[in-house]
Structure 1
Amino acid sequence: MAARRARRSRHVQSQPAASGQPGLVLANYGQVSLVEGEDGRILRCHQRRRLPRCVCGDRVLWEAGNPREGIITAVLERHTSLVRPDANGRERTVAANMDQVVVVVACRPAFEAGMLDRYLVATELIGASPVLVVNKSDLLDEDGRAAMEQQLQRYRAIGYPLLFTSTHRNDGLGALHRQLRAHTSILVGQSGVGKSSLVQALLPDLDIRTGELSQVTGLGRHTTTVATLYHLPDGGDLIDSPGVRDFTLLPVPVEELARGFPEFRPFLGQCRFHNCRHLGEPGCAVREAVRAGQIDARRYESYTDIARTMTSR
């Protein structure tokens, strides 16, 4: 999965003027989308040909076909979108219009810092706000918690919110509720980190909601296999996305990649060479900041790993 910036002040693709009423895509099942109208009704909608495929979180225009079905006539501008390569390496948009990305990792097995950094970079590059959630904190004793806190201090130092949660002990769930309030957030993470348990804890009536969505689609309970948007009881929207085995950034220019590391930004433009890639060139201000302890060496190592992977493609 990767992220990209959407064009501003345009629809997703050039579209003819369309009529219809505003709606919000709660989920997409290929040819069928679940669209919530302004009155709260949820309809099963197909979309007109030549429109870009709708995704969860899209704002659309739609027209009623019958009391339970409609036609999507336009897909409105996406402010942000999360994209991942499909099986053939093509870009596939998972969800749109989130302003906050909640990256969930688990205490055990130990999280892979490189993957976490790729998630965080992707979030930065679309202009959304990252939040880091360490789940299953009940598996840590006092010493383990202290060690994990120390390991993650580099993210806190950057300014990323860091929450420890446990659905078994209800730890940290109040803080997570507050973090999600008034935002459109997407929950992302590897399979097995306990994301589904978190969603259940945040949405106590989840089974009822998924049952209602399944009734509308007529497709059975498939909501765990596609990104699905839910309204949170305390305000805000939560997009639950399927777990992934790995997370891959789509290729971006190296200079753009560097901006995905916020701690690099004060030093960008100060290198000896204007086209410095921060990979060993002389007079590199970023590498000097690493040597001076102003940039964490492990974060810089993640940057070089990502940059070299992209340049080798």
Structure 2
Amino acid sequence: MQGTVYKSTGSWYRVKSTEGTFYDCRIKGRFRIEGIKSTNPVAVGDEVRFNLIEDGDVTVGQIYEIMDRRNYLVRKSVKLSKQLHIIASNVDLVFLLVTLENPRTYPEFIDRFLATSEAYRVDCVLLFNKVDAMDQHLKDETKYMAALYRDIGYTCIGISATTGKNVDQVIELMTGKTCMFVGHSGIGKSTLINRIAPDLELKTAQISEQHKQGQHTTTFAEMYDLPSGARIIDTPGIKGFGLVDMEKDEIGDYFPELFALKSQCRFNNCLHLDEPGCAVKEALETGTVALSRYRSYVQMISGEQDVYRTGLKEDV
């Protein structure tokens, strides 16, 4: 049988068959360790092949093969730094939720996520949430950040998951696509998904006033079908985002504005650090390249803060 993984709890997987029936599945005994370097060899969004077996009085599935992935998003495992954690696979569009307060999303986190999305060929849209609760200073800062990323080529939308402001634009982008919503805990993912698909009734929680950090409402990845033909992948909040399988000389390729200037550098192997005739450094001087983006790039090149952390408690 063949199907799509809709839910992963680490040991059990909820798989929807091509006929539309859901099965609780496990992976075949040795499958976990054969040639797979991730902490979760099977991820939500995976197309898999499985057999049905009897487990006492219950019929369960046994996954024995993962079909080729079109793309996937990964981050470093929290407990096993040399391994990766696949967040989801076969994603058409990922929405990164951003807030500048309660909790704050820092540019370094955004840039690492965007670079990873570029590396793994997943289109990304930035959603600046909680615009209804911003004072004028935060509104101005949000407009500046959104303009910065729009200039690079990313779609940016200011939304309010609470009031529904501009959520219709998000729904329009989702039509017929498998979409993922990611961001820190407490940033409003579940509230937004409930606004888009209220029948799902995902759990939500308030921000901790003492520590200004998100409380945990999603503990595992899960995918949902919508009447529009879209599918939503809800994920646990992400505290840190590390680089996986990126060489120093390719990181710049995942910054679109740096990649566009690469051919203008004097040396074709320019890392845009101290090399003479560097077009990126010249663009930095003229303001064509944003300083915050360049700082993120240098940080990634140098390996500093290999997993950029915000002080938020980890969900996964």
TM-score of Structure 1 vs Structure 2, range by shorter chain = 0.7 to 0.9
Q: Secondary structure at the match of 1:51?
A: helix
1:28 shift after superposition: 1.6
Matches of 2:105 and 2:51, distance apart in 1: 46
From 64, 68, 73, the equivalent of 1:82 is 73
Q: 1-side partners of 2:306 and 2:15: how far apart?
A: 42
Pick aligned residue for 1:59 from 47, 50, 55: 47
**Residues 225 and 231 in structure 2, CA contact (< 8 A), matched pair in contact too:** yes
Shift of 1:271: 2.0
Contact 1:202-1:232 within 8 A present in 2 as well: no
Please point out which of 3, 26, 35 is paired with 2:15.
35
- TM-score normalized with structure 2 length: 0.81
Which residue of 42, 45, 56 corresponds with 2:25?
A: 45
Q: Distance in 1 between matches of 2:202 and 2:262?
A: 50
RMSD of Structure 2 on Structure 1 (CA): 2.5
Counterpart code for 2:192: L
Q: For 2:22 and 2:130, how far apart are their aligned partners in 1?
A: 34
> Deviations 1:133-192 (Å, cap 9, x if unpaired)?
111111024664344212321101112111122122111111111111222221111112
CA distance in 2, matches of 1:40, 1:68: 17
- Supply the distance in 2 between the matched residues of 1:190 and 1:199 (Cα, whole angstroms): 15
Q: Quote how far apart the aligned CAs of 1:129 are.
A: 0.7
Unaligned runs of 5+ in 2: 33-40, 204-215, 308-316
Aligned partners of 2:72 and 2:89 also within 8 Å: yes
Q: Percent identity?
A: 32
Match status 1:132 vs 2:126: yes
Deviations 1:6-30 (A, max 9, x none): xxxxxxxxxxxxxxx2200001222
1:276 is displaced (CA, Å) by 1.5
- Report the 3-state secondary structure (helix = DSSP H, G, I; strand = E; otherwise coil) of the residue aligned with 1:225: coil
| 42, 51, 64: which one aligns with 1:73 | 64
Provide the residue aligned with 2:262 in structure 1: 268
254-263 or 50-59: bigger deviation: 50-59
Q: Does 1:244 align with 2:238?
A: yes
The 5 A counterparts of 1:1-313 are 21-52=1-32, 53-65=41-53, 68-86=59-77, 87-89=79-81, 90-109=83-102, 110-141=104-135, 144-207=138-201, 224-250=218-244, 252-309=246-303
SS at match of 2:165: coil
The two structures have a TM-score, normalised by structure 1, of 0.82
**C-alpha distance after superposition, 1:172-225 (max 9, x if no partner):** 11111111122222111111211121122122111499xxxxxxxxxxxx9921
Cα distance in 2 between the residues matched to 1:168 and 1:207: 14
SS at match of 2:242: coil
Label 1:301 to 1:206 Cα distance change in 2 as closer, same or farther (>3 A): same
Relative distance call for 1:117 and 1:84 in structure 2 (3 A) is same
Closer/same/farther in 2, CA of residues 37 and 263 from structure 1, 3 Å limit: same
User: Which residue of the partner structure matches residue 5 of structure 1?
Assistant: none
Structure 1: which 5+ runs fail to align? 1-20, 210-221
